[in-house]
Amino acid sequence: MFELHHLTAQEQLDWLRRGEVSPTELTRHYLDRIERLDSGLGAFMTVTPDAAIARARHIEQNVPKSAALWGLPFGDKDLWQRAGVRTTFGSRLSQDFVPEQSDDIVTALDAAGGVSLGKTNAPEFGLPAYTESRVAPPARTPWDVTLGAGGSSGGAAVAVSAGLLPVAPGSDGGGSIRIPAAATGLVGLKPSRGRVPAGSGFLSLGGLVVDGPLARTVADAALLLDAIAGPSPWSVGPPLWDGGAYLNAAVRGEGRFQIGVMTTSPWDNDYDIAVSAEATAALSLATTQLDALGHGLDDLALDSDPTYAPAFRTLWQAGAASIPAEGDQLELLEPLTRWLVARGRELGARDLATALQQLSMFERSVIRQFDSFDVVMTPMLAMTPRPVGWYSQDDPELNFAQQVQYTPWTSFVNVSGLPAISLPVSMTDAGLPMGVQLIGRPGRDDVLLALGAQLERRLRWSARHPPQW
């Protein structure tokens, strides 16, 4: 039986503008699905039905239909402040906090005409690559609810994958859009640094965090990217945006590109990185399809850099040092966060300055090594989605190693400021999505969308749906 969420986000927006469904009707449809399905998924931290209906009615009466997201529902990640709505940052430390002002990304989504249904689940201060906290149920991939959805935009990914939202924005400081997109069978795009309103959060130190879209199709991801990267005082870089330029790139899906295929990572010298058979199979499938489409493909190995691992660890710890917890408040933090805060506060200014300098040099090196390619492709994750509770809560060093081993190809893209997209190319024998990552040149988010659209046409991943669909 047909239901509204079976339409793509782009189709839903078309229906809204043609009057075939009203913003209020579409909002109620998704609120009903959240009420029925979310208790076993952990997509939302807070749902705001009254505010959402009021917002939908306001849009119907007062907002021009030309607005980029006119009447389309979304959710605010619970690391973002929305005035008057509880924002926990995934922590017991701030579980009752109600902000008086909204963050820039929230303001941008509102200006685009979207309807917020509430706050999507996120881990404590967005620090880990999984969404399991002490203030909310874990975010579970809809494909197998015994497995985690990744993080830190885990709730946003679950909501889109299970049909509780048409699209959702997330933030990515080390893979936090791409990881949950891969674990839930979605497209997830980390834009180029400076492309959208600056990401908030403690990992924004060093310019790591950028906000971006999670969606079921490449075109839907481009639609949301256009909405948040439109003309604004935050955007920098080449003036690509022109009333839907990203969506145009995704819909047209044109171009032949030179692609480097890489399985090495900057963590290889410091951690035991093993690429699973499922990850290798996804990469092989994508390589075969891209070759059939006429793209050039060559193997690529990242130069070894012994400074990367310790420098990134220093930056991660330094970012956590500013979490506003003192004395007895530290006991409210989860073990991993408490460890990061303690280590970060032991660092000196020279330690941080050295790490930032080393990562800046690493950024230059990566861009130079990738210069002969339009796109570099890696596996998205080294393993299948991890079981809920898999990450150590007693040993922070082991926890960090587990995160690196699960997702070794994401953080260096944030350090380099490059755009990257996660694409759900295959399904395992156990029925789990597996993907690949495409990394672009600085500012060439459009190339990733065009290439992703070409793969999507061949592999038809938008036709796959989890049981809740």
Compute the 3-state secondary structure of the chain and give helix, strand, coil in percent, each to the nearest 5: 45, 15, 45
Token reading at 189: 């795009």
Sequence-distant (6+) residues with CB within 8 A of 245 are 226, 446
Q: How far is CA 467 from CA 36, 144, 145, 431, in A?
A: 14, 9, 10, 11
Task: Confirm if 373 and 258 have CB atoms less than 8 A apart.
Answer: yes
Closest by Cα among 378, 224, 403 to 309: 403
**201 in the Ramachandran plot: left (φ > 0), alpha (ψ -120 to 50) or beta?**
left
Sequence-distant (6+) residues with CB within 8 A of 432 are 141, 143, 144, 147, 278, 384, 385
Q: How far is CA 454 from CA 218, 295, 439, 440, in A?
A: 10, 11, 16, 15
Residues 225/231/233/239 CA torsion (nearest 10 deg): 90
Length of the chain: 469
Active site residue 77: yes
> Which one is catalytic: 176, 200, 411, 462?
176
Task: Confirm if 421 and 448 have CB atoms less than 8 A apart.
Answer: yes
**Per residue in 368-401, is it b (16+ CB within 10 Å) or e — as a string?**
ebbeebbbbbbbbbbbbbbebeebeeeebeebbb
Cα–Cα dist 251/452, whole Å:
10
**Range list of β-strands (E), 194-265:** 210-215, 258-261
The helix (H) or strand (E) run that includes residue 189 is strand 187-190
> Which one is catalytic: 91, 152, 171, 265?
152
Helix axis angle, 277-292 to 445-459, nearest 10°: 100
Closest by Cα among 395, 208, 244 to 316: 208
Active site residue 176: yes
Count CB-CB contacts under 10 A for residue 66.
9
Burial class from Cβ neighbours inside 10 Å (0-12, 13-18, 19+) for residue 244 reads middle
Cα–Cα dist 346/86, whole Å:
32
Burial class from Cβ neighbours inside 10 Å (0-12, 13-18, 19+) for residue 39 reads exposed
Q: How far is CA 23 from CA 19, 54, 112, in A?
A: 9, 10, 14
> Which one is catalytic: 77, 94, 116, 422?
77
Residues that are catalytic? 77, 152, 176
